Amino acid sequence: MSDWKDQIAVMHLVKQELMKRDKDRLWPHHLPEVGATEEQMQEAEKALGFPLDPQYYEFLMHADGWKGFLQTVDLLGTRELMGSPLMDEALALLGAIEPDVLDDSGFSREQLLPIAAGTHDRDLFVIALPDSPAPDTVIWFAGEEIERFESFEEYFLAMVDYNREEVEALSAGG
């Protein structure tokens, strides 16, 4: 398992660099939320009716969500998982995925839990539930399947890289 404190620190440094280069304020810039308590984690799992992926669980204990995690995509924390306007939007995005796209993914809607969603676009990240063909897989949908990650940790590291690419793109353009 990852050392989440170190991984979050790296993402924070990348996000700080992105904020410096984002002269036109294209993206929201926020710190991660304070880590969830064990009680909040248990409440979230009880509300959901199933245990969370262990890596996502551990991450939430260190950072209980992160607004603007990737551009306008917010990474959901326990409050959102238990019900919020953002979770409602994420569930609506999940419901809007075309049946053939879901069929191609190998998952049903009921086997997927939104963990991150765009506030101004169709980006949706879901994690496969324990009763699915590939539990703990994270899938990025935006009208179609964009990318698939074998684990929450792999997803997180990829988002660090996508943010680094955004730093480079803004550096080249400015």
Percent of the chain with pLDDT over 70: 98
At 174, the pLDDT band (50, 70, 90 cuts) reads low
For the cut 60, the answer to whether the pLDDT of residue 1 exceeds it is no
For the cut 90, the answer to whether the pLDDT of residue 52 exceeds it is yes
Domain that holds residue 161: 4-173
Mean pLDDT along residues 140-169: 94
Number of compact structural domains in the chain: 1
pLDDT in tens, 117-127: 987 788 999 99
Distance CA 135, CA 145 (A): 17
Contact between 129 and 112 under an 8 Å Cβ cutoff? The reply is yes
Q: What is the CATH number of the domain that holds 70?
A: 3.40.1580.10
Residue 126: CB partners within 8 Å, gap ≥ 6? 94, 112, 113, 114, 115, 138, 139, 141
pTM, to two decimals: 0.93
pLDDT in tens, 8-42: 999 999 999 888 888 888 777 888 999 999 999 99
Mean pLDDT along residues 82-94: 93
Which pLDDT does position 113 carry in this prediction? 97
- For the chain, the average pLDDT equals 92
Contact between 158 and 65 under an 8 Å Cβ cutoff? The reply is no
